[in-house]
Each structure stands twice: as C-alpha cells, then as structure tokens.
Amino acid sequence: MANTAEYSSKTTRDGFLSYSDGSIENGLTTLTAVEIQKLDNTKEYDVIIIGAGFAGLIAARELGLRGRKVLLIEAKDRIGGRTFTAQTNDHNFEIGGTWIHWSQPHVWSEITRYGLSLKESKGVAADRMSILLENGTKLKEISMLDSLVALANAMEKYSDVDDVQGRTVIPFPHTPFVANELVQKYDQLSMQDRFDQIIDSLNITDEIKDMLLALLSMNMQGDIAEGGFIDHLRWWALGDYNMIRMFDKLSRYKIKEGTSTLAQAILNDCKNVTLLLSTSVLSVDHTNTNSSIIRIQTGDLLLARSVLVTVPLNALQNLKFFPPLGIKKQESIANGQCPGGRKFWVKLEKPIGPWFGMAPYPNPITMAYTDDEEGYIIVGFGPDELLDIQNINIVEKELNKFLPNVKVTYVLGHDWRNDPFILSTWSWYKPGQMCSSLKALQIAEPPIFFASGDIADGWRGFIDGAIESGLTNARYIQQYLNKRFPSH
Ligand SMILES: Cc1cc2nc3c(=O)[nH]c(=O)nc-3n(C[C@H](O)[C@H](O)[C@H](O)COP(=O)(O)OP(=O)(O)OC[C@H]3O[C@@H](n4cnc5c(N)ncnc54)[C@H](O)[C@@H]3O)c2cc1C
C-alpha cells in the first residue's frame, strides 16, 4: 500500500485504564494505531472511502486489488473502528467487537485467508453462576447446568411466534425481507411487547424470568421496551433458532491473535490504497456526478469519482451532503438506532475460576463472565449509561453484588456511546425501524455508496455484517466505475 508507516504497537487516544490507586490513563496501546499519514499527490481518486473499520478496510482492499486508486480516510488515529485489541499488562483486551464464529461466513473467510485462529472465553461455559434477583437486592448462586433447560425453554417460547421458532418470519437470515408481510408485523413490536404477550403462558419461576430478561436486555444493551423484537428474531434465526447455539456464536470464541491483527492483515494486503488517519471528513459535495468533492477538517478539498461512506449510523448525522441525500435516507439517519450501553474489562486481584453472572435491566451490570483459564479477567456489560466504567470503585461495588469481596486491580474500556465518530455499540434497531429504514440506508445514491455493519443484511451489528456490507458495496462501486468511466 502507498504512504503507510511501519506498523507496531502504539497508543491510540481511544480508551482508558483505571487503577485501584485512583489513577487513570487515557489512551491504550494497540497494534492498529499508526502514524498520521500524508497525502500523495494524486489529483483524483477512483474512490474515497470514509471510515477505516472493517467495512471500509474490506472495500479498500477489494477495490485496490482491482486497480482502483483508493483513498481511505479515518477520523481516528487507528484503523479498526469499533474494534481494537488493547495490549495491556501482558494481556490482549478486546475493547469493542470481539467474538466471532465459524458460522459467520464473511469473517470466517478472512480468518482462513490470513491463517488466524480462535480462543475461547472460558466463563461462557461456566457452571458456577450468580444471578441478582429482586431488583438487584438478592444474590443467588446456581448451577448453570440446572437452569439451562428451563431458560432455553423460556427463550424458545419467547421466540416461537409461528410454532416453528420464527422460521416463517426469517427463513433466510441473510435475506431479511423474504417474508415481507410477517417481517412488517413483527417489526412493529418492541421486545417488551413480545414479553408481555407471552409472560402469562410461560409458567416459569421468577428466577428464570429474571434470567430471560437479563439475556434480552444484554442483547440490545438497554431497556427492552426500546429494542425492536424483529432484531431478536433475526439473531434467533442466525443462531439456528436455538439458545445455546446462538450464545456460542455471540460470545464464546474470539480471534486468538487479536481482532486488531485481522484489521492489520487486511490493511497490509491493500494495493493502490492511501490511508489518511486522524482526519475527519466534514462534507461530501456530489453536485457534479463526475467528480465528488470531499472537505476534510483541515479545510482541504479532495476529489473522487465515487465515495463510499462507512460512518456508523448514529454518527452519520454529523456528515453533510450537498445536494442533500434522499428524504427517506435523511429520515432514517435522523431516527438513528439504539445507542447501546457499556462494555468493560477488569483484572481481579485473585482468580475466581470459571464464572458467569447475570441480572435484569435496570441493574447497572446485566452480564459478566470470566475470560481466561484462571478467572483473573472478567468482561462485563451494562445497559444504557447506568454504569460509570471509568470509576473503578463503582465498577468494583457493582461486581461485588455478584461476587462479594472480590477486589479489582484495574478496569479498562472505551465510551463508545459518547465517541463522536461512533455514538453507539453494536446495531440494534428500534421497533419499526427495520421496515422503515434498512433498505433506505443501504441504497446507493451514485456516486455515493453506503456500507456499514449497521446496515448489513445478515449479521447486522457484527464484524461479519461490516465485511458483508463492504464486499457488497465494493462490487457496486466497481460496476459503477466500469460503466461510467469505461476507459479505465
Ligand atoms: C462494545 C462493542 C462490542 C461489540 N461486540 C461484538 C462482537 O463480540 N462480535 C462482533 O462481531 N461484533 C461486535 N460489535 C460490533 C462490531 O464491532 C461492529 O458491527 C463492526 O466493527 C462495525 O464495523 P464498520 O466498519 O461498519 O463500522 P466502524 O467500525 O464503526 O467503522 C467506521 C469508522 O468510521 C469512522 N468515522 C466516523 N465518522 C467519520 C468522519 N466524519 N470522517 C472520517 N472517519 C469517520 C469511525 O471513526 C470508524 O473508525 C461490538 C461493538 C462494540 C462497540
């Protein structure tokens, strides 16, 4: 690739590390933070790609390999977007997107291509489980094995809208609108609406009810009254209509070498691509369809025959388009998606072995589990903004509700919800949003194209979806350029 520095571990401005003595370090060490790049003297690019997350990286590689001149512009001081592996105290911590699975076709193909491998997060299969009942006031220790069947039954009833586990609604999980009428029907429901429909017929203990509510709230990272039920059915279908298989796909296996290693491998594979980091794009002017004008934060103007926008859905409102985008797209951008919640990692003073904890909304931690063999490291999730993850005392206090007396040595994470270039975690749509917005957000307005994990067809909200969307749009752009500028 052109104009890139040597890659080695550097510090990104993203993320924090809080220690038990009260000190906080801002910024984390990661493989994918690189030097600020300088532009080469290219007058006009075939494609300018805005955003160097997985959607942008994949599209850059594909188009560059087809001989297109590509400029990849990223606001952050690193590639990888909503994913990065922090290398801290001899441990790899995945601060954003983490778990992948061999049934996620696009990411798995990249794992094969670059020869990467998997590592298991141990606590996911732990038998020792703590649940917080009665609004977080009562701690109960249970055996996961003893509760699993009842919980899986409850989840099946929650998902079973048609006596065949939702198969008639989402028969092909990578083609979302096959059963259009049914999708429209269930898209109107919130996750809470569906819960209210079936709770009386569930016949479950309060304990299983709280576990079910914790799982649902965990998935959308907030109040289930605000999350669309169709996204639950989508995850259910992608999870083979089975709770344990779904859970394995969502939270069990991560890239052993680190997610940043995959991002970097894709970058290293790029040809004809110039990378410009720490540069935010302010506007895209496509009044002249033969040449779009991109204004960057320095005030400089850059020219391109086509533009691929991979900015996260909730941050798209900060990018200006001239002339304005189609009205449905504008409305969909203004509506945004659920903003998600918190993810944090802690290192404990003493190991606790494999362990898993859960509590329903609005507990500040809905799910947490050990990651490593010994149980020194815990990954945790909180809904909305209910947990101040930078405050180690608060994090320890909340963890002590599940694990009395454990002491936290340090906590680390990143505030994705308030990161101005992201403004969300993983994609979860609001009720009605899938039918009102997904197609509008996906549709190209040539010479402007849109790709993101937030608007994928299949694993929307996942690394796999970002890759799918990047690949699809690289194909569209290649077709567009071939047709529009045949002499290339
Ligand atoms: C806490 C968390 C946990 C997650 N867990 C998982 C998981 O376990 N498994 C999984 O598969 N997925 C997970 N995800 C989701 C996954 O990380 C994302 O779906 C995926 O990485 C999105 O990739 P993307 O390329 O579409 O967008 P992004 O990675 O968000 O990339 C978009 C890029 O655009 C840049 N940008 C924005 N505005 C501008 C601008 N104006 N100018 C220039 N650049 C701009 C941003 O800085 C960003 O780098 C998680 C996400 C989070 C936050």
Give the pLDDT confidence of 46-93 residue by residue, as tens digits: 999 999 999 999 999 999 999 999 999 999 999 999 999 999 988 999
423 lines ligand 1 (CB under 6 A): no
Ligand 1 midpoint to CA 486 (Å): 34
| Residues in CB range of 377: below 8 A, 6 or more apart | 91, 93, 345, 346, 347, 348, 370, 371
294 lines ligand 1 (CB under 6 A): no
User: Where, residue-wise, is CATH 3.90.660.10 in the chain?
Assistant: 122-251+340-418
Question: If you take atom 49 of ligand 1, which residue's CA is the nearest one?
Answer: 81
Is the per-residue pLDDT at 487 higher than 70? no
195 lines ligand 1 (CB under 6 A): no
pLDDT, mean of residues 358-365:
97
Question: If you take atom 27 of ligand 1, which residue's CA is the nearest one?
Answer: 53
pLDDT, mean of residues 284-288:
94
Ligand 1 midpoint to CA 487 (Å): 35
> Contact, 144 vs 354, CB < 8 A?
no
Q: Is 402 annotated as a binding residue?
A: no
Ligand 1 midpoint to CA 416 (Å): 9
Distances (CA, A) of 194 to 133, 157, 161, 478: 22, 10, 9, 43
Better pLDDT: 365 or 32: 365
315 lines ligand 1 (CB under 6 A): yes
Ligand 1 midpoint to CA 282 (Å): 19
433 lines ligand 1 (CB under 6 A): no
pLDDT classification of 4: cutoffs 50, 70, 90: very low
Is the per-residue pLDDT at 6 higher than 60? no
Q: Is 321 annotated as a binding residue?
A: no
In this prediction, what percent of the chain has a pLDDT beyond 70?
A: 96
| pLDDT for the residue 290 | 87
Q: Is 47 annotated as a binding residue?
A: no
Instruction: State the Cα–Cα distance between residues 326 and 76, nearest whole angstrom.
Output: 28
Nearest ligand 1 atom, CA 461: 19
pLDDT, mean of residues 126-140:
93
85 lines ligand 1 (CB under 6 A): no
Question: If you take atom 1 of ligand 1, which residue's CA is the nearest one?
Answer: 96
Q: Is 381 annotated as a binding residue?
A: yes
Neighbouring C-beta atoms of residue 351, cutoff 10 Å = 14
DSSP tag of 48: E
| pLDDT for the residue 136 | 86
| pLDDT for the residue 162 | 98
pLDDT classification of 7: cutoffs 50, 70, 90: very low
pLDDT classification of 278: cutoffs 50, 70, 90: very high
Is the per-residue pLDDT at 39 higher than 80? no
Please give the CATH superfamily to which domain 10-15+29-117+256-338+423-484 belongs: FAD/NAD(P)-binding domain (3.50.50.60)
pLDDT classification of 270: cutoffs 50, 70, 90: very high
474 lines ligand 1 (CB under 6 A): no
311 lines ligand 1 (CB under 6 A): yes
| pLDDT for the residue 486 | 80
List the one residue out of 297, 292, 337 whose CA is nearest residue 316: 337
321 lines ligand 1 (CB under 6 A): no
pLDDT classification of 35: cutoffs 50, 70, 90: low
Q: Which of 71, 83, 385, 452 to mutate to test the pocket of ligand 1 (most atoms within 8 A of CB)?
A: 83
> What is the residue type of 281?
V
116 lines ligand 1 (CB under 6 A): no
Is the per-residue pLDDT at 344 higher than 50? yes
Identify the burial level of 284 via C-beta atoms within 10 angstroms of its C-beta, where 0-12 means exposed, 13-18 middle and 19 or more buried.
buried
Ligand 1 midpoint to CA 447 (Å): 23
| Residues in CB range of 186: below 8 A, 6 or more apart | 161, 169, 229, 230, 233
Asked which of 55-59, 101-105, 199-203, 231-235 is least confident by mean pLDDT, the reply is: 199-203
Is the per-residue pLDDT at 488 higher than 90? no
| pLDDT for the residue 324 | 98
pLDDT, mean of residues 93-113:
98
Dihedral pair phi/psi, residue 262, rounded to 5°:
-65, -45
56 lines ligand 1 (CB under 6 A): yes
* 388-444 per-position pLDDT tens digit: 999 999 999 999 999 999 999 999 999 999 999 999 999 999 999 999 999 999 999
| pLDDT for the residue 181 | 97
426 lines ligand 1 (CB under 6 A): yes
Ligand 1 midpoint to CA 81 (Å): 4
Asked which of 113-117, 121-125, 366-370, 466-470 is least confident by mean pLDDT, the reply is: 121-125
CATH assignment, 122-251+340-418:
3.90.660.10
User: Where, residue-wise, is CATH 3.50.50.60 in the chain?
Assistant: 10-15+29-117+256-338+423-484
Asked which of 57-66, 129-138, 233-242, 314-323 is least confident by mean pLDDT, the reply is: 129-138
Instruction: State the Cα–Cα distance between residues 449 and 441, nearest whole angstrom.
Output: 10
